[in-house]
Amino acid sequence: VSASSAKKSFKPKEPCKHIVLYYHDTLFNGTDVANATSAAATNATNLGDFKFGMLVVFDDPMTKDNHLLSSPVARAQGFYFYDMKSTYTAWFAFTLIFNSTEHKGTLNIMGADLMTLETRDFSVVGGTGDFFMARGIATIHTDTFQGDYYFRLKMDIKLYECY
């Protein structure tokens, strides 16, 4: 089978699908089981003062607007860890899980979160269900953060390979 018979569509720089969602991470403080949606699985090391090595597992809600209490349209399940000794940066890998009338399926995402930049890009490396075999870019922007307890990312997801 050669490429000429393919049904896959791609046109670089013009996404075949575009989704904007907000990611809300509420870190467990040891007591707020009801509200927390993530928890540190490892302690920070002593390599610098920016939590190097602290790994956080999350099951975070994704909403269409930037309100934490809006009804989630997806979940983000995965992890991040802090990985610089001189500033805060993190590395993420996670799955967006959609289970609504609008979308059913998953997107698998990974990349470096260089928090000091206004925006940074993760890779969408695969998809399932409605997002069968998708690839693309998720552009991240820190919408807000409240110390250790809560932060919110805007995720602008553009798929460039859709089946």
Q: Which of 17, 129, 130, 150 binds its own copies (CB under 8 A)?
A: 129
Measured from the CB atom, the residue of 66 and 137 that comes closer to its own copies is: 137
Residue 16 in contact with its own copies, rule: CB under 8 A: yes
- Exactly one of 7, 69, 101, 118 binds its own copies (CB under 8 A); that residue is 7
d(CA 39, CA 31): 11
d(CA 116, CA 125) in angstroms, rounded, equals 24
Applying CB under 8 A, does 9 fall inside the site for its own copies?
yes
Q: Is 163 in the site for its own copies (CB under 8 A)?
A: yes
Long-range contacts of 31-37 (CB under 8 A, 24+ apart): 37/61
Stretch that binds its own copies, among 17-25, 29-37, 66-74, 146-154 (CB under 8 A): 29-37
Tokens of 162: 């859709």
Indicate the residue among 121 and 143 with the shorter CB distance to its own copies: 121
Which token pair is 11? 């046109």
| Minimum distance, C-beta of residue 141 to its own copies, in the bound complex (Å) | 14
| 97 is a contact residue toward its own copies (CB under 8 A) | yes
Q: Which residue has 């890998």 as its token pair?
A: 93
Cβ-contact 79, 93 below 8 angstroms? yes
Q: Which of positions 61-90 make contact with its own copies (CB under 8 A)?
A: 77-79, 81-85, 89
Q: Give how far Cα 63 sits from Cα of 31, 41, 133, 144, 155, Å.
A: 25, 25, 23, 15, 10
Q: CB nearer to its own copies: give 66 or 128.
A: 128
The terminus-to-terminus CA distance of the chain in angstroms comes to 16
Per-residue contact string for residues 101-120; x = within reach of its own copies by CB under 8 A: ----xx-x-xxx-x------
